[in-house]
Amino acid sequence: MSLDEKLLRRDPERVSRLFSEISPRYDLLNRILSFGRDGAWRKIAVQASNPSKARRVLDLATGTGDLAFEFVRHPDFEGEVIGLDFSGEMVRRARQKAAARHVSNRVQFREGDALDIPEPDGRFDVVSVGFGVRNFADLEKGLLEAHRVLGPGGRMVVLEFFRKKENPLARFYLDHVLPRVGRWISRSPSAYAYLRQTKKSFLSPDEFISLLRSLGFSPVVLKPLTAKIAHCVIATKPPAPAPE
């Protein structure tokens, strides 16, 4: 299947339209295509963020809010979460879920751009991104924005599918089964073909770690998830130097 060139270039308007198209079945697709492991992965990401010391969390590319809600559910987290996404339809659905779960007092969902975060420097203790950095039109700019809004000692937690060498069975599933199942459930002709292509062209785990370090994050820790199907990356913004 040939894909829209603007989509492959991660044109923000085109990517936003794509995710709006699949938003009605987005949660179901995540469960099916991850074999139900996506919930466990989010729990690991939240635990890795050191939630007991976090008061403000920013969840970028929040989608329908599942990672944001995982923070609110964690027994050691007593703070507040802002979920930011450039798809208005995703944000609308996330707000509906927050209202239904009676947590609108602790989590707010806003439409906005991860490459131009409308928040002041150093405001957040944690910035999280669940399977969204591959969709950034400018990856370096998005990571620098996350670094900017983190306070000293704050953590960026990323869940992602990185490029890696695949065995024949995994390659067959990702090239043929996943796009067909995704197309059938989502009713979008290109959504999961697009997601497959972005995985193939994205960074490897080592390349992503090197990029984070070059942008000022240290230390950076990599946690493989479920036989390395996915990874959790924890990147810390170094504490402010002690005054002399």
pLDDT in tens, 53-74: 999 999 999 999 999 999 999 9
CA dist 104 and 75 (Å) reads 17
Say what the alpha-carbon torsion angle 128, 50, 227, 191 is, to the nearest 10 degrees. Answer: -10
Q: Is 116 left (phi over 0), alpha (psi -120 to 50) or beta?
A: beta
Cα distance between residue 162 and residue 207, in whole Å? 10
Identify the residue with better confidence: 196 or 77. 77
In this predicted model, what pLDDT tens digit does every residue of 2-12 receive, in sequence order?
Answer: 445 555 566 67
Q: Which residue has the higher pLDDT, 187 or 145?
A: 145
Cis? peptide before 219, omega within 30° of 0: yes
Average pLDDT of the residues in 27-40: 78
**Dihedral angle computed from the Cα positions of residues 198, 204, 209 and 215, in that order, rounded to the nearest 10 degrees:** -50
DSSP 175: I
Which of the pair, 198 or 147, is modelled with greater confidence?
A: 147
The mean pLDDT value for 191-210 works out to 78
The contacts of residue 210 (CB under 8 Å, 6+ apart) are none
Q: Once rounded to an integer, what is the mean pLDDT over residues 112-136? A: 95
Please, which pLDDT band fits residue 104 given cuts at 50, 70 and 90? Answer: very high
Report the alpha-carbon distance of residue 105 to residue 81 in Å, rounded: 10
Average pLDDT over residues 198-207: 84
Question: Residue 171 above 70 pLDDT?
Answer: no
Domain ranges in the chain are 16-165+202-236
The CATH class of 16-165+202-236 is: alpha beta
Is residue 124's pLDDT more than 90?
A: yes
Residue 45 pLDDT: 98
Which of 79-83, 87-91, 163-167 has the weakest average pLDDT? 163-167
| pLDDT range class, residue 1, cuts 50, 70, 90 | very low
Q: Are strands 230-236 and 124-130 parallel, antiparallel or unpaired?
A: unpaired
Task: Give the pLDDT mean for 116-145.
Answer: 96
Residue 3's pLDDT is: 47
What is the percentage of the chain residues whose pLDDT exceeds 90?
A: 62
